[in-house]
């Protein structure tokens, strides 16, 4: 569910993960760690976790 929410936000509102984290007050490394634990990794080219 977190992956879906984050990817929707990236797709619809934010041009990069840095912008998403800044706007929502998220720690970028913690988000990457959390999603990496379920084998999702950020793709800058696609601007989403895959």
| pLDDT (tens digit per residue) in 2-50 | 999 999 999 999 999 999 999 999 999 999 999 999 999 999 999 999 9
pLDDT at 50: 98
| Interatomic CA distance for residues 20 and 6, integer angstroms | 9
pLDDT at 21: 98
pTM value is: 0.92
pLDDT at 8: 98
Q: What percent helix, strand, coil does the chain show, rounded to 5?
A: 55, 10, 35
38 backbone dihedrals φ, ψ, rounded to 5°: -110, 25
Each domain of the chain, given as residue ranges in start order, spans 2-49
pLDDT at 17: 97
Is the Cβ–Cβ distance between 7 and 42 less than 8 Å? no
């Amino acid at each position: 569910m977190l992956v879906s929410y984050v990817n929707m936000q990236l797709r619809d509102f934010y041009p990069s993960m840095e912008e998403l984290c800044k706007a929502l007050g998220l720690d970028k490394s913690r988000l990457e760690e959390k999603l990496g634990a379920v084998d999702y990794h950020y793709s800058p080219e696609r601007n989403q976790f895959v």
